[in-house]
Amino acid sequence: MPQDKSQSPNENQNIPIHVAIIMDGNGRWAKSRGLPRLFGHQAGSKTVKKIISACLERGIKFLTLYTFSTENWSRPVFEVKGLMTLIGDYIDREAMKLHKLGVRFKHLGRLEGLPKFLQEKIKKAIELTENNLGITVCVALNYGGRNDIIDAVKAILASGIKPEEITEEKVAEYLATRGIPEPDLVIRTSGENRLSNFLVWETAYSELFFTPALWPDFTVENLDEALESYSKRKRRFGGLDVPEMTPSLET
């Protein structure tokens, strides 16, 4: 959902409406401890629930978690299979608990590309929580920003929309994030300073925060540090600050 670039939706607020997180560093966390990479993913899953709860407590309405990209399929087969199983187990274990907290789940990405068992678990979690109003957690799983734009373009062409009818708002209606406000703040853990094909369209005017903390070590204090940094920034959306007083042109 494109925002009015002339005014931030949080102009008079310190808390962002939508926070997106690139959860990076699970593998490095495990390697530094001499453990298999899957142990890092298991440790990272514990951080997920903690951060969801913290965002809910702080009044954040949307949280998007970059869980598995379309590029991640190139990783070793045993790691990918293990991660898919881990995600499925997490849904079984935590979906009802998060539902009771008022969490609503939404999936971003190509659902059909995931294992059938995981597709079914995701669909059930979405159905279970579809009427919740506490916080919407978007799980970007088998997601790639460029692929999402390609899928949107294909759908627009198939719909017969005329070229002159295509606007930013129209494109946004065909993205996986349709109906979701663009991220105010994007956090990336592990010290990497790039977006890695994450919400390519939607992050055009997002504020960015990079932290060296690996995802399993990411704490509520780290989250608050990012939120504090965000609260001190001025979001201009390509414009200029409006001066408090307009100088008179009279001589």
pLDDT tens profile 164-209: 999 999 999 999 999 999 999 999 999 999 999 999 999 999 999 9
Instruction: Classify domain 18-145+184-231 by CATH number.
Output: 3.40.1180.10
Mean pLDDT calculated for residue range 158-163: 95
Asked if residues 65 and 215 have their Cβ atoms less than 8 Å apart, the reply is: no
72 is an active site residue? yes
Taking only the tens place, the pLDDT of each residue in 208-225 is 999 999 999 999 999 999
Mean pLDDT calculated for residue range 158-162: 95
241 is an active site residue? no
Mean pLDDT calculated for residue range 57-66: 97
Q: How is the chain split into domains, by residue range?
A: 18-145+184-231
Where residue 121 falls among pLDDT bands split at 50, 70, 90?
very high
The predicted pLDDT at position 11 comes to 43
Report CA dihedral (133, 136, 20, 201) to the nearest 10 degrees.
-110
Q: Is the pTM of this model over 0.85?
A: yes
The predicted pLDDT at position 241 comes to 64
Where residue 104 falls among pLDDT bands split at 50, 70, 90?
very high
Which three-class secondary structure string do you get for the chain?
Answer: CCCCCCCCCCCCCCCCCEEEEECCCHHHHHHCCCCCHHHHHHHHHHHHHHHHHHHHHCCCCEEEEEEEEHHHHHCCHHHHHHHHHHHHHHHHHHHHHHHHCCEEEEEECCHHHCCHHHHHHHHHHHHHHCCCCCEEEEEEEEECHHHHHHHHHHHHHHHCCCHHHCCHHHHHCCCCCCCCCCCCEEEECCCCCCCCCCCCCCCCCCEEEECCCCHHHCCHHHHHHHHHHHHCCCCCCCCCCCCCCCCCCCC
Asked if residues 190 and 209 have their Cβ atoms less than 8 Å apart, the reply is: no
The predicted pLDDT at position 240 comes to 61
Mean pLDDT calculated for residue range 32-37: 96
Q: How many CA atoms lie within 13 A of 45 on its CB side?
A: 20
Rounded distance, CA 68 to CA 24, Å? 10
Among 4, 12, 24, 224, which one carries the catalytic annotation? 24
pLDDT of residue 244 exceeding 70, the answer is no
Where residue 52 falls among pLDDT bands split at 50, 70, 90?
very high
Among 10, 72, 132, 197, which one carries the catalytic annotation? 72
Mean pLDDT calculated for residue range 234-241: 70
Mean pLDDT calculated for residue range 225-250: 72
